[in-house]
Amino acid sequence: MENPANNSKHADSTGDCAICLERIQRKKTLKCQHSFCSECIDSVFRLKPACPICNTFYGVYTGTQPQGTMTVTHSFLKLPGFENCGSIVIQYNFPGGIQGAEHPNPGVRYSSTSRTAYLPDCAEGQKVLRLLRKAFNRRLTFTVGRSATTGLNNVITWNDIHHKTSINGGPESFGYPDPAYLFRVQEELRLKGMPLKLDNVKVDRKKRNGLRNPKNCLSVHHKDEVMRHEAVLASRPWPSIVRHCRVRAISFGCHDN
């Protein structure tokens, strides 16, 4: 089966617009050196300010998440597969409200909701936490729409950033063990415009309640699988796919529950 991403690269190199697949009209070239019809790329940027081919962002990408809170606590609870460290517990809370102009049905109410998610309290888990904070502050973690799980409309749903909402049960139950999860979610966050290289953040040990912060808290039998996954991520460009003027980001089974 032909890869649409390859079609996009081919279209750009032959003078065709990778969005409309026609000859480029009123050519606009981005700093990443990819070119499109001016009207086509302007329409894409109104949805997401990123190159449809290489996902280079231009400006800050913000979402339509309603007003809510993100609370983080640290626990001695050990997650399956990360038995050498504690855990990070993230609590999201959203009151009910009225949809705004950026939502599917302005003026229609949406109900309140709360979600709990878990990360291992190791260096990589803390990095993911910092990225999740940035995503939340940019209103990218949730949106208002139709729940893929319940089929209900006008509800607060996840917005393509995969969270572990169960402690155990594995990927099928949105839980642990899942050795490659921390790397997958970082790729999802990158597609939302989050910088993966963050400055080191000093952690207040008193606030951490003395919890250990090992550099690598993976169980021994999971390390080989993670190393294989890292090699795969390093070898793939992970471009966004454009078809019929719509941007499709790579997804890893995000859920609404």
Residues 94-139 have pLDDT tens digits of 999 999 998 999 999 999 999 999 999 999 999 999 999 999 999 9
**Cα-flanking dihedrals φ and ψ of residue 129, to 5°?**
-60, -45
Higher pLDDT, 2 or 129: 129
Least confident piece of the model among 96-105, 180-189, 213-222: 213-222
Q: Is the pLDDT of residue 207 over 60?
A: no
Specify whether 18 is located in the same domain as 114: no
78 secondary structure, DSSP code: P
From CA 156, how far away is CA 159, in angstroms rounded? 9
82 secondary structure, DSSP code: B
Q: How many Cβ atoms are within 10 Å of 142's Cβ, its own excluded?
A: 23
Length of the chain: 257
From CA 127, how far away is CA 257, in angstroms rounded? 25
Q: Is the pLDDT of residue 53 over 60?
A: yes
Confidence class for position 32, pLDDT limits 50, 70, 90? confident
Q: Is the pLDDT of residue 247 over 60?
A: no
Number of domains forming the structure of the chain? 2
Per the structure, the complete domain to which residue 39 belongs is given by 4-47
CB-CB contact of 71 with 94 (8 Å): no
Give the per-residue pLDDT at 222: 54
Confidence class for position 213, pLDDT limits 50, 70, 90? very low
Give the per-residue pLDDT at 234: 53
Task: Supply the CATH number for residue 147's domain.
Answer: 3.30.390.130
Helix residue ranges, H only, the chain: 4-13, 38-47, 123-137, 181-191, 220-235
Specify whether 100 is located in the same domain as 136: yes
